[in-house]
Structure 1
């Protein structure tokens, strides 16, 4: 396929460096990329043509939906923008979403029909990236991960073949799509089974002083709480544009029963927190609006990470709070798991650590003049001690573009199984601009 073939309309809109639309085309939600070319695909046939071209020209492919991934900033390769594939179709409780759809519009359409799908926390996040990476959201204890609600998909392989993927037709491939990332093809349509949802109870509590005793109460509360309840703890500095400064606990109850939600949260309310918000909201209204990348104020580096904790013991709580105390420009975050998340057997999806009860994250912002070499090393060491207590890593919250990072996300057994699927559907590793699963001989990682 020649360069002339790239411009004949069979692969969508092709944009190269120097073209009038280049500057806008190479921008994505979280940064500015410098690929060899950008193809904006408006149809499945566009995707097929683009992938045949990429395979023939030996170009790596980066798939862009919502555009939040740090992989959009890796130079070279072909960026395949599928954001125009954003159809939302609802048939009873079966929901079919285009691979480029965003969770905010999806949540609004579903709310109008009294339905919901457990998505992430942010309206502008893409359905594709979140789901393929697992998808921890506000309904994780009620309904599980986003990928747990995935019942089928339409996928275009590296060769340009279109597959209808279900548990009956391609069980191993659908298993891999439930948490294995964008390693196996371009998902142009996701099929979900939605849940009845007439609204949520949303509560926010403020914390002053030492957070340790409050977090112990929160941990003990969630050990016995109804699965309708999911909570987060977050402590952020004033510089973070994603949330108000300070320490808060946010709770979402799946449903509109305010009395049940208040009863479940009673131990927390009695622990001395201040109630800032409490009431019924539409589910779309609890999703955040993350600001887009501003080249005048680029985000600083991040020294830290995330981990999936089997137990949130006193030591883990102390280490997380201490990390935040010792690094003034830092963030600490916890999200409750368990419930429906833990109902899924480890072997039934590629997502790691189904026995985890909490997701934890902490990081110091690497701001010039604030973190010297000693402070950076101290933050790295403090985070390493927290991560060592965990049993896995959530890939969707990893800003690293290290192509070996997948080995920290998945167990050797899961890696071997994913590698076998990769070998079958992408033996040339065209889809490598992600937390990459490398195809190996006989399905073993290389």
Structure 2
């Protein structure tokens, strides 16, 4: 592979396996990837050159922003690292309010800090180091999902490098079908080098942390009932994790986030939950939004991710049977995790066909899985867990690609309804007919 011309054309760095800094450049949350070449871009032109190089050699393009694809190392192909494209610019929206133009390599913690200083916010991921690009293109279920919807719901424009290396400005006026596809259709259509979001006024947030003990079933039922009529400023997350990570205390907990600075409003909304046995309020205080984002540093290269037996689903109804199935799954295996996040509110206001994201009728997002650790899980247990999860997923109306644990290309068929997939495939055929951008939950060109 002759990299001389690419190195001449690119202002950033081009790395191959024999180059200094290779291991650091290929490390991610999933471990050490094995790409053919890494292009650490410094400019928009660099992105175009990298895509043209890949297309000319019939190589696939792999894109990195935050690097949080925890079950998928970046192997083979041309890895385009957008890290340096991390600008965050706030401008006046002609329709009123503020627009935020964010580079494709930016991460949500940096974005939140810039916006917080201006009294603004965007519903983002939970973790500071998560990339803006991957989260948004997959939809983006964040801590403000009931207040403002998905990250993708706040997307009003984008700058995109196509499979031919050309630069396109994407808006509802210029390329409505392409912008529709970017609001949840994944990285199938090009490399987004800039995202344009409509921001929201945000004076601050209130965070409540609740301890949970005993049988989780009545607690989750009470949490469901509270959220059925709660103001949309409230989004809650239930988490039950094993004693595996020293950075994450073992056991069950509830985190409630209020979009705004009204502590008494959050206290009032949670009051019915605090009457339930096993629930205790540990903390409730006003914060600035950047301070509530989690921080998960990249693991050491030799720390490989374990297998994961389970998945996620978008539940139209969290009824008692669904609660029992989820809690039973967690109880059946010590090395397992259970997560639920409330939906509804602004998430449910968006018409189903307005974005590719599935299941706008969902009221809860649920994820459960057992860690497939050699010596702890045998074949019989794997079969039992896979069967149990399949029954849980069948209760849902769709799955969330950003929390998927498989790299199987066929998984995309489970993410989108047939009509949505057909529309995505038509957009793909227009913008990437050779399927250069196939290293994702792939939509095959129509």
2:80 matched to 1:75? no
Q: In the aligned structure 2, how far is the partner of 1:126 from the partner of 1:418? A: 23
Q: Which residue of 2 aligns with 1:109?
A: 114
Q: Which residue of 1 aligns with 2:95?
A: none
Moved over 2 A (4+): 1-4, 9-12, 240-243, 293-299
Q: CA deviation at 1:160?
A: 0.9
For residue 351 of structure 1, the aligned residue among 350, 354, 357 is 357
Q: Which residue of 2 aligns with 1:6?
A: 6
Q: CA deviation at 1:23?
A: 1.3
Q: In the aligned structure 2, how far is the partner of 1:186 from the partner of 1:380? A: 35
Q: In the aligned structure 2, how far is the partner of 1:318 from the partner of 1:184? A: 40
Q: Which residue of 2 aligns with 1:380?
A: 386
Q: CA deviation at 1:377?
A: 1.1
Using the TM superposition, name which of 226-235 and 4-13 deviates more.
4-13
Q: CA deviation at 1:12?
A: 3.1
Q: Which residue of 2 aligns with 1:53?
A: 53
Give the TM-score of the pair, scaled to structure 2.
Answer: 0.97
For residue 391 of structure 1, the aligned residue among 397, 402, 420 is 397
Q: Which residue of 2 aligns with 1:322?
A: 328
CA contact (8 A) 1:200 1:282 kept: yes
CA contact (8 A) 1:242 1:291 kept: no
For residue 366 of structure 1, the aligned residue among 347, 369, 372 is 372
Per-residue CA deviation, residues 153-204 of structure 1 (Å, 9 max, x unaligned), is 0000010111110000000000000000000000000000100001111001
Q: Which residue of 2 aligns with 1:340?
A: 346
Q: Which residue of 2 aligns with 1:246?
A: 251
Q: CA deviation at 1:72?
A: 5.2
Q: Which residue of 1 aligns with 2:188?
A: 183
For residue 100 of structure 2, the aligned residue among 88, 95, 100 is 95
CA contact (8 A) 1:236 1:247 kept: yes
- Name the SS of the counterpart of 2:426 in structure 1: helix
2:140 matched to 1:135? yes
CA contact (8 A) 1:176 1:421 kept: yes
Q: CA deviation at 1:378?
A: 1.1
CA contact (8 A) 1:61 1:430 kept: yes
CA contact (8 A) 2:240 2:253 kept: yes
CA contact (8 A) 2:190 2:432 kept: yes
Per-residue CA deviation, residues 182-235 of structure 1 (Å, 9 max, x unaligned), is 000000000001000011110011111101001101101101000000001100
Per-residue CA deviation, residues 42-93 of structure 1 (Å, 9 max, x unaligned), is 1000000111111111000010000112475153111010110000101241
Q: Which residue of 1 aligns with 2:43?
A: 43
Q: In the aligned structure 1, how far is the partner of 2:392 from the partner of 2:405? A: 18
Root-mean-square deviation (CA, aligned residues, Å) is 1.3
2:121 matched to 1:126? no
CA contact (8 A) 2:28 2:67 kept: yes
Consecutive unaligned residues in structure 1, runs of 5 or more: 441-446
CA contact (8 A) 1:11 1:50 kept: no
Q: In the aligned structure 1, how far is the partner of 2:303 from the partner of 2:193? A: 34
Q: In the aligned structure 1, how far is the partner of 2:71 from the partner of 2:335? A: 25
Q: In the aligned structure 2, how far is the partner of 1:269 from the partner of 1:105? A: 35
Q: In the aligned structure 1, how far is the partner of 2:247 from the partner of 2:363? A: 25
Consecutive unaligned residues in structure 2, runs of 5 or more: 93-97
- Name the SS of the counterpart of 1:73 in structure 2: coil
Q: CA deviation at 1:108?
A: 0.6
CA contact (8 A) 1:241 1:291 kept: no
Distance change >3 Å, CA 6–CA 241, structure 1 → 2 = farther
Q: Which residue of 2 aligns with 1:444?
A: none
Per-residue CA deviation, residues 342-384 of structure 1 (Å, 9 max, x unaligned), is 0000100011111100000000011111101111111111111
Q: Which residue of 2 aligns with 1:402?
A: 408
Give the TM-score of the pair, scaled to structure 1.
Answer: 0.97
Distance change >3 Å, CA 422–CA 13, structure 1 → 2 = same
CA contact (8 A) 2:31 2:305 kept: no
Q: CA deviation at 1:13?
A: 1.4
CA contact (8 A) 1:62 1:71 kept: no
Q: In the aligned structure 2, how far is the partner of 1:409 from the partner of 1:11? A: 38
